[in-house]
Structure formats: C-alpha cells, structure tokens
Structure 1
Amino acid sequence: MKVLDYFEEILLCITFVAITLITFANVVSRNLVNLSLSFTEEITVNLLVLLTFVGTALGVRRYAHLGFTLLYDKGNKTTKKIIVLVSSLASGLLFAILLYYGTDMVLFQMKVQQTTPALGMPQWLLSLALPLGALLCLIRTVQVTFEELKEVERQAEEPKGDELT
C-alpha cells in the first residue's frame, strides 16, 4: 500500500499547488491588468473536488475522521467489532454509491461528448475526480476496517492492569 500512500500524497500536493498557483495568477491578473481569467474557476472548482476526496481517503488512512468513541471505549470485544463493522459498512456503502454514480456520470459525459463551458475540454476528465476519490476512499475504508478489527483482537488478548497482580 506504500505506492498508494505516495500516490495520494503526491496527488494532494500537486492539486493544492495547482489551485494555489491558478488562483494567485487570477488575482494578479485581475489587479494588475484588470483582466479576470474566468476559466480558472472551472479548473479550481474541479481540483477542489479532487482535493476533497483524496484528502478524505488520506484522512481515513490516518484515522483522522471524527468519531464519538464512548460506546466503543466502554464496550467489550464483541461490541467493538460490531461498531467497527457497522461504521465501516456505512462508510463503504457511501463510497460505493459515489463510485457507482460517479462512474455513471463520467461514462455519460464521455458518451455525449460534454465539454466544459470556458475551456471546451472534455468534462469527463475533470469529473474523474469523483469516482477516483470514491475508489480511494473505498480502498482505505476496507484497509482500515481490517486494521481496526485486528486491533480489537490484539486489545482483547492483552492482560488488564489489575490482572497482573
């Protein structure tokens, strides 16, 4: 999974730098030459979608998602496994739906040869951010599910502090 780790991080870095440079160029152009580069909005909005989804996948991988852990922390091994599975199934279902409909959208845009309004480039190239990001999130959700289930098993095997005496 190291290759996927590097892919996500490089893609995030390139996307963030591109958004920053494009937006900066638009601001400079607007203020110095009084010329707004209208096509930049088209690019930056779609790059932000990519940044959001790949960032979500990275957040899942790093366990950076928000969570309410009271029930999990107080639960026994079985309760913890159920919580992990329910949470993972819900997340996986969401990302699977986004992957399905994102792929459907891209295929439709390819079929009708839809282009972007300002640049006239194929819309599906920019829309690939949705299914790609959803796929990365789905992969990471499966990965984290197995890691969390292993962790629950490992914690269950560890002796409690009061059992050592």
Structure 2
Amino acid sequence: MSRILTFVEYTLVVIALGTMSVLTFANVLSRYFLNSSISFTEEITVNLFVLLTFVGASIGVKRGAHLGFSLIHDSITGILKNFMTILVSIIMILFFSAVVYFGYDMVLSQIARNRMTPALGWPQWIFTSMMPLGAFLCIIRVIETTILSFKKDNVKAEGDTTS
C-alpha cells in the first residue's frame, strides 16, 4: 500500500509542478512577445499549487520532514515519548480531518450552486476537491508514520535490553 501511495504522490507532484512550469513559462513568453496574457494559466496554476501543497505535505509527513521541535521528543524515552507521539499524531489527524470535512463541505456547496471557474468555465469543485484529497493523504501518512515510529521504538527497546 505504501509503495502505491508513494507512487501516486510523486506522480501527482511531478504532473502538477510540470504543468505549472509549462503554463507559467508559456504565459511569460506570451506577455513578452504578444503583450497579452493567457487568461486561464493563473487559474490552473493557483489550483495546482493547492494540490502541490497538500501532496507535498503528505510526502513531508512520510519523510518526517514536517516542521517541529524535536529536541524534547528526542531527549525523552519510554511512556512519555509514546504519549508525545500519540498526542502529536492525534492533533495532526484532527487538523487534517477538519480540512477534509470543511473541504468536502465546500465541494458539495460548489456542486449545489453549480459554480464555474471564471476563465475556463469548468466546475469549481474539480479544483476544490484537491484540498480534501490532499488532506486525506496526509491523514494516511500520519497514521503510517505513527505506526512506524512505534515499531522503530520497540525494536530499539528490544535491542537495548539484549545488549
């Protein structure tokens, strides 16, 4: 499961960043040579940036690269360390769950109101759905990272008692 999810995450990041780069470069060339902007590029770029942010956050959680103050966490052991790991994980899951909930609510609202994007005329919910999707990926990664952290700590604890 983790390898498939990693492949999906990296594929989404590559496609989003590649598309953003090509569209932005084309828009710059259009402004320079034609003195006019390609109107839809900003709309797509901004919405892909939202996807890139959340999927990048999911990759960051998997790698343990999220911002945090690890001095205290690294200096404690045993039950207190396990408690801190669970507490931080619960807080992160609650935060991303709120993003999923309110993002999903926003998607439903946009579908009900038949909101369209200004430049392309596409349904707005297509772009908005990237927010709860990315937050859901983050929830999966938080759970996965928490489980791996406990397994790693248990292996360390077993190694310490046998030596």
Superposition TM-score, scaled by structure 1 size: 0.94
Report the alpha carbon displacement of residue 15 of structure 1 after superposing the two structures with TM: 0.3
Report the alpha carbon displacement of residue 66 of structure 1 after superposing the two structures with TM: 2.1
CA distance in 1, matches of 2:32, 2:70: 49
Q: Which has the higher helix share?
A: 2
| Structure 2: 5+ residue stretches without partners | none
CA distance in 2, matches of 1:73, 1:3: 30
CA distance in 2, matches of 1:155, 1:69: 18
- Secondary structure, aligned partner of 1:136: helix
Report the alpha carbon displacement of residue 38 of structure 1 after superposing the two structures with TM: 2.1
Identity across the alignment (%): 44
Q: Confirm whether residue 124 of structure 1 aligns to residue 125 of structure 2.
A: yes
Superposition TM-score, scaled by structure 2 size: 0.95
Q: Confirm whether residue 21 of structure 1 aligns to residue 22 of structure 2.
A: yes
CA distance in 1, matches of 2:152, 2:77: 13
Mapping 1:1-165, distance limit 5 Å: 1-159=2-160
Kindly indicate whether the alpha-carbon contact (under 8 Å) linking 1:46 and 1:126 is maintained by their aligned counterparts in 2.
yes
CA distance in 2, matches of 1:84, 1:113: 43
- Secondary structure, aligned partner of 1:158: helix
- Secondary structure, aligned partner of 2:120: coil
Report the alpha carbon displacement of residue 157 of structure 1 after superposing the two structures with TM: 1.8
Equivalent pairs counted in the alignment come to 162
CA distance in 1, matches of 2:33, 2:5: 41
Moved over 3 A (4+): none
CA distance in 2, matches of 1:61, 1:76: 22
CA distance in 2, matches of 1:35, 1:70: 52
| Structure 1: 5+ residue stretches without partners | none
CA distance in 2, matches of 1:155, 1:72: 15
> What's the RMSD between the two structures over aligned residues?
1.3
Single out whichever of 148-157 and 101-110 deviates more from structure 2. Answer: 148-157
Q: Deviations over 1:108-156 (max 9, x none)?
A: 1111110011111100001111011011001101110111111122222
